Amino acid sequence: MKEIFKINLIKGFIYILLPFVVAITGCEKAIEVAVPVNQIPSTAAFQDSLTAQATVNGMYAFMYTGASANLTTNYSVFASTLPARSADELYLPATPTDEFANNSLIPGTGTVNTVWLQNYQIIYQANEIIAGMGASSLSPTLKKQLIGEAKFMRAFCHFYLVNLYGAVPLITTTDIAVTRTQPQSTVSQIYSQIISDLKDAQGSLAQDYSWSAGLRTRVNSWAATALLARVYLYNKDYVNAEAEASRVIAQSSIYSLPAKLSNVFLKASTETIWAFNTNQYGYASIARVFIPLTASADPNHAITASLVAAFERNALRPDYQDDRFDSWVKTSASGKYYIAKYGTITAANTEFFVVLRLAEQYLIRAEAMAQQNNLTGSLADINVIRSRAGLHPATAQTQAELLLAVEHERQVELFGEFGHRWFDLKRTGRADAVLAPVKGSAWQSTDALYPIPALQVTNNPALVQNPGY
């Protein structure tokens, strides 16, 4: 029999995110539901170090597996595939009417609501950990670490919410009186909280991976630094983006770029800053979405022609090929290209699902330096990534050329990973120029933001729908 607990222990979460429960029951009564994997009820969560850590592990588990056994609809997979389909990276061969690839989302789209809910559920868990640990009598060292991890996760989820939906409610409490009618905060307010949380996490988290037995599956101080570098870049704070990325790159005893591209996503990769532990399945869940399940099958998600064309290839010059295409892109029996960054869908447990890695930090620093007119430094970092890919050095010379070179390297280095391409095109103001020719009449400028889910607007009248919906 499954362990159960009363949902009124998390009623703040229910009112914000799952108001349809109230509509069904007609009253604020307790409902019994199954406890998610590794998640401990809040009343017991902070009694001792084991249950406190189990609660934090439950937060990680939800991010990787979600509340469903369906590996293709969990939080981590959605965070990678949906933005890739909205941009110019992926499409569904079996679903030509896909609302994401066709940029035809409507407020009632179920997946749009699911993504909203998943992010806020993790934020709720993080807020509960922060509050519970702060009031606990556990050791200061443990409290500091677990609060730091919770603040990182709260920042991470708010980052994805603000980049997918724009202005959203900024939730830092579990108090239902506050959250049930919380209006949207401005984008700048949300980013201010993200930066504050990441700075706190930076100073609270361990600088090694001792809390996860040497595996890079729980965030540390450098993970907070890496995400902070990205956030500063998105906010056009190029001085701090360069500084934070440089701090991560300087940790050469921990992080380095594997010479072989086939080693980048391995369990023991030195490039990994943070990854999801895949022990539950024995392989990265994202692999099930990308790799055809049989030799004759099409991939569930196929690579677009525009992404295939972005890789530098020249049949007359075998020495000038992008090795990332050969290593990370494969072809199905029917000739469709698919992502092969993860090589197995068997229970070999050789790969972890990588969330943050070192290559992004080089590209963050390259862009930040170009924006500050440090053209030499920018070019050097671009060429670190190109060299690993087997390419000749870039020839960009002007600031404008370097920024386009960084955009290109991000496109062919980070494709299919947690929405980078979608977010890059929007934050640089390049979405219209790049996507309109590819998407045609399916693209409207207002498509750059997902609609606020209709269910959330219905249950919280303080929410304002995004333009175009």
pLDDT 10s digit of each residue in the chain, 469 long? 333 222 233 333 333 333 322 222 233 222 222 333 334 445 456 778 888 999 999 999 999 876 665 667 889 999 999 999 999 999 999 999 999 999 999 999 999 999 999 999 999 999 999 999 988 889 999 999 999 999 999 999 999 999 999 999 999 999 988 888 999 999 999 999 999 999 999 999 999 999 999 999 999 999 999 999 999 999 999 999 999 999 999 999 999 999 999 999 999 999 999 999 988 788 898 999 999 999 999 999 999 999 999 999 877 667 678 999 999 999 999 999 999 999 988 888 899 999 999 999 999 999 999 999 999 999 999 999 999 999 999 999 999 999 999 999 999 999 999 999 999 999 999 999 999 999 999 999 999 999 999 999 999 999 999 999 9
Token readout for 248 is 């991560």
d(CA 340, CA 328): 5
Q: Which residues contact 260 (CB under 8 A, 6 or more apart)?
A: none
Q: Which residues contact 94 (CB under 8 A, 6 or more apart)?
A: 298, 300
Pure H helices in 268-397: 285-290, 305-310, 323-328, 358-371, 375-388
Contact assessment for residue 205 and residue 148, using Cβ atoms and an 8 Å cutoff: yes
Question: Which phi-psi region, left, alpha or beta, contains residue 171 (left: φ > 0; alpha: ψ -120 to 50)?
Answer: beta
Residues forming a β-bridge with 351: 266
Token readout for 188 is 């700048």
Q: What is the DSSP letter of 447?
A: G
Task: Give pLDDT, residue 67.
Answer: 60
Contact assessment for residue 74 and residue 285, using Cβ atoms and an 8 Å cutoff: yes
Residues forming a β-bridge with 4: 34
Task: Give pLDDT, residue 44.
Answer: 57
Pairing of strands 353-357, 272-276: antiparallel
d(CA 100, CA 226): 28
Contact assessment for residue 166 and residue 213, using Cβ atoms and an 8 Å cutoff: no
The residue to which tokens 């439950």 are assigned? 58
Burial of residue 99 (CB within 10 Å: 0-12, 13-18, 19+) is middle
Residues forming a β-bridge with 406: none
**Cα–Cα separations (whole angstroms), residue 190 to 161, 164, 172, 173:** 10, 13, 11, 14
Task: Give pLDDT, residue 314.
Answer: 76
Task: Give pLDDT, residue 68.
Answer: 60
d(CA 232, CA 323): 30
Q: What is the DSSP letter of 263?
A: G
Cα R_g (the chain), whole angstroms: 22
Closest CA to 88 of 430, 456, 452: 430
Contact assessment for residue 464 and residue 452, using Cβ atoms and an 8 Å cutoff: yes
Task: Give pLDDT, residue 41.
Answer: 46
Backbone CA torsion sign across 33, 51, 115, 20: positive
d(CA 299, CA 338): 6
Task: Give pLDDT, residue 69.
Answer: 59
Task: Give pLDDT, residue 108.
Answer: 97
d(CA 464, CA 173): 21
pTM, two decimals, is 0.90
Q: Which residues contact 29 (CB under 8 A, 6 or more apart)?
A: 8
Task: Give pLDDT, residue 340.
Answer: 97
Token readout for 373 is 């007119």
